[in-house]
Amino acid sequence: MSDEPYVPEASFSSLVLMLSSSAWVTLGKIADPVSGEVQKDLRSAKLSIDTLIMLREKTSGRLDEDEKKLLNVMINDLQANYAETVLNPEGDAGAAEQTGKDTADTEKQEAQKNPKQDTENSEEV
């Protein structure tokens, strides 16, 4: 077994998760994995969210159901958290960190799953 970190294979789902993770970090919801610090950069967060929206528009009709659901859920969660952060900049740091941690855990689990795996129990947004 290698000591090197797990790196998922390149896929559409991996790209969505990478952009989503970047947005969560720049929203100040989770710590930067390199520095360990929690900082907000709303312009960068908006860019990541807008990039995900652009991907949804450019890939419309060409995604499988799992990819479509993942993209829609990530966009909706990020948009809601962006709006909450803009409207309540002080926020509840403890709740924000827990929300970010839960989302990061979910993203990590998704990245480790086969992108084609069935997600019958997921609701489409």
Backbone angles phi, psi at 41, to 5 degrees: -145, 85
Q: What is the pLDDT of residue 103?
A: 53
Whole-angstrom Cα distance, residue 65 to residue 70? 9
If you average pLDDT over every residue of the chain, what do you get? 81
pTM above 0.75? Answer: no
Q: Are 101 and 52 a contacting pair, CB within 8 Å?
A: no
Q: What's the distance, CA 110 to chain centroid?
A: 10
Residue 67 CB contacts under 8 Å (≥ 6 apart), including other chains:
12, 13, 16, 59, 115
User: Is the predicted pLDDT of residue 101 greater than 70, yes or no?
Assistant: no
User: CA dist 55 to 1, 48, 72, Å?
Assistant: 36, 11, 11
- Higher-confidence residue of 9 and 73: namely 73
What digits encode the pLDDT tens for the residues 20-48?
A: 999 999 999 999 999 999 999 999 999 99
Helix residue ranges per DSSP H, 36-114: 42-58, 65-87, 93-112
Q: What is the pLDDT of residue 124?
A: 38
Q: What is the pLDDT of residue 5?
A: 87
